[in-house]
Amino acid sequence: ILCLRSPRNPEQKIIKRVIALEGDIIKTIGYKKKYVKVPHGHIWVEGDHHGHSFDSNAFGPVSLGLLHARATHILWPPQRWQKLQPMLPPERKPLHREQE
């Protein structure tokens, strides 16, 4: 889970889950292409609320240059305090991952 600058508004920071890395092929959810191969120097990010999230399905692959920080905990509101788990929903795993 990363904090990054919004590709549409660099003044805004957004927190999203990394779904795919450069070279991965991902089946998108509502993006202009059904399948995308993540280009070199980019990642595919998604929010946890599919269909209601401003993420790569809206703006495409994200340049690594927009990465700001790694999110590790929810601190606010206090009743939601928790450590974030680095899990990838099984239905969102890349279809193909390039071998290094």
Quote the pLDDT of residue 99.
Answer: 57
Cis peptide before 77 (omega within 30 of 0): yes
Which of 14, 76, 77 is closest to 43 using CA atoms? 14
Predicted TM-score (pTM) of the model is: 0.80
Domains of the chain and CATH, by start: 2-83 (2.10.109.10)
Give the Cα separation of 2 and 17 in Å (integer).
6
Quote the pLDDT of residue 32.
Answer: 92
pLDDT, tens only, 47-68? 877 767 889 999 999 999 988 8
pLDDT, tens only, 63-92? 999 888 888 778 888 998 888 777 767 677
